[in-house]
Amino acid sequence: MSGSPAHPARRVFRITGRGMPWVALAGEAAISLGRHPLRTIMSALGTVLAVGGFVALSGLTQSARNAVASSFNELNATTVQFQSGLTGAQVLTAGGVARLAKLHGVLSTGLLWALDNQTPQTVSTTPPSDSGYGTSTTLPFTAATPSTFQAIGARLRSGRFYDAGADRYHEMVAVLGSAAASQLGISSVAGSPAIFVDGTALTITGILSSTTLQSQVELGVIVPPYVATVISNNAGERTVITRTAPGAAQLIGKQGPEALAPYHTADITAEIPPQPTTLRAQVQASLSQLLSIVEIIGLTVGIISIGTVTLLSVTQRRQEIGLRRAIGYGRADIAKLILTEAVGTGALGSILGISVGVIAVAAVAASNGWVPILAPGVLVRAPVAGIAIGIFAGAAPAIRAATLTPMSALRT
């Protein structure tokens, strides 16, 4: 035939015994991938999920570690509880709590106990003489010193907490938990609403919205110690809640019984949180294990996805492969071409996966109020993982394509 050959470079390389250069193969692979964009995207989808999941989980793991560490410092690792048994009413007292509050490292501390072993009492919004009116229900009662509200992280929806003057001047007051207020139909302390317990009137000074500790108090009524002695003769097991500065919980747990009751330290047990470093290490180990499992699953999904689509592509392109063999492509050239296409698909999937992962980390961190953290090494490992997926997934289809002869492929 006259004119220049269609593929002069390939013919020269075949004549001289050399294979096609990688640059030429990369160009051919790019053209092939671009010719079938839907197939390329479907093939890369597994890698997108694998790499995106790896990047997202890695970033969320690091962000969660930081958030968990802060949470431990702010709550779990800074809370100590002291309890006593049968002699609790004599051992744990307001005076002992005042001494405990003076220890270095104590931020807040309070004494509380359930009345009548948390057996609900009948409460109404009208006096017994007007029993046919108003709202009546049964609610549990908890006695608490004024400092307890700060120790349990209580927040108000309406009104104020009672103070030390409530006991000093024998004020008949109470604070309602959020659930108790809803049951009684009291939404505000405007107008100084009152509740009645066995004919005793208690003025509501405040309504809780939430607590960070001892959430059961939100279900009932909280009263000062003096009021507790008026409405009940059965004092339950007493508990002292203590919030400490970060790092001081272990020391306060050891010194607390001496401050609370110097002559009855054996009757007091302290719930001391484990060391924050131990908690962080346990969380880090769990999250790292989860990350490894997801990474393995993701890589497997990516390999299967690319491998399946590439193998199907080889089957559909038998005539094309046969034609390439007929015009000068060697077995190695065909294998390298298919492998390059698989690697390109893996690289494309890794780029898209990184983008998806970074967006996911930023979105989840923002929604939870975390600081988004993503190690630079993850962004390096992700493309490498995508290329590795392409190599492993494309190996079998490349070998199969290389074994096709021109005549058998063109005959199909």
Which domain range does residue 123 map to? 88-263
* 378-401 confidence digits (pLDDT tens): 788 878 877 887 888 888 888 888
* 100 and 222, same domain (yes or no): yes
Banded pLDDT at 39 (limits 50, 70, 90): confident
Residue 402 counted as domain residue: yes
Residue 77 counted as domain residue: no
* 339 and 382, same domain (yes or no): yes
* 288 and 256, same domain (yes or no): no
Strand 173-176 relative to strand 235-244, pairing? unpaired
Residue 106 counted as domain residue: yes
Q: What is the pTM of this model?
A: 0.55
Residue 203 counted as domain residue: yes
For residue 86, pLDDT over 80 is answered with no
The domain boundary, picked from 199, 229, 263, lies at: 263
Q: Which two tokens stand for residue 23?
A: 């640059």
User: Count of CB atoms within 10 A of residue 405's CB?
Assistant: 13
The Cα-based distances of 88 to 21, 36, 64, 112, 269 in angstroms read 86, 78, 40, 11, 11
Banded pLDDT at 154 (limits 50, 70, 90): very high
The residue to which tokens 């349990």 are assigned: 152
Q: pLDDT at position 4, please?
A: 43
The domain boundary, picked from 212, 230, 263, lies at: 263
Triad 312, 54, 283: Cα angle to 5°: 145
Cα distance between residue 5 and residue 330, in whole Å: 18
* 219 and 96, same domain (yes or no): yes
The residue to which tokens 């560490």 are assigned: 69
3 state DSSP class of 212:
coil
Q: Quick one: which of 169, 147, 142 has its CA closest to 94?
A: 147
Total domains in the fold of the chain: 2
* 34 and 108, same domain (yes or no): no
Q: Over 50-82, what HEC string results?
A: HHHHHHHHHHHHHHHHHHHHHHHHHCHHHEEEE
* 194-209 confidence digits (pLDDT tens): 999 988 999 999 999 9
Residue 398 counted as domain residue: yes
For residue 247, pLDDT over 70 is answered with yes
* 300 and 259, same domain (yes or no): no
Report whether 112 contacts 214 (CB < 8 A): yes
The residue to which tokens 């015009």 are assigned: 327
* 259 and 285, same domain (yes or no): no
Residue 157 counted as domain residue: yes
For residue 108, pLDDT over 80 is answered with yes
Q: At what angle do helices 318-326 and 331-368 cross, to 10 degrees?
A: 130
Report whether 8 contacts 267 (CB < 8 A): no
What's the gap between Cα 71 and its chain centre? Answer: 11
Q: Which two tokens stand for residue 380?
A: 């390096």
Report whether 138 contacts 175 (CB < 8 A): no
* 323 and 207, same domain (yes or no): no
Strand 79-84 relative to strand 141-144, pairing? unpaired
* 291 and 227, same domain (yes or no): no
Helices (H), ranges, 140-236? 148-151, 165-168, 178-184, 225-231
3 state DSSP class of 170:
coil
For residue 11, pLDDT over 70 is answered with no
* 313 and 352, same domain (yes or no): yes
Cα distance between residue 23 and residue 338, in whole Å: 14
The domain boundary, picked from 263, 295, 323, lies at: 263
* 159 and 33, same domain (yes or no): no
Q: pLDDT at position 149, please?
A: 96
* 105 and 242, same domain (yes or no): yes
Banded pLDDT at 24 (limits 50, 70, 90): confident
**Residues 6 or more apart in contact with residue 370 via CB below 8 angstroms:** 63, 64, 66, 67, 364
Residue 231 counted as domain residue: yes
Residue 43 counted as domain residue: yes
Amino acid identity of 66?
Answer: N
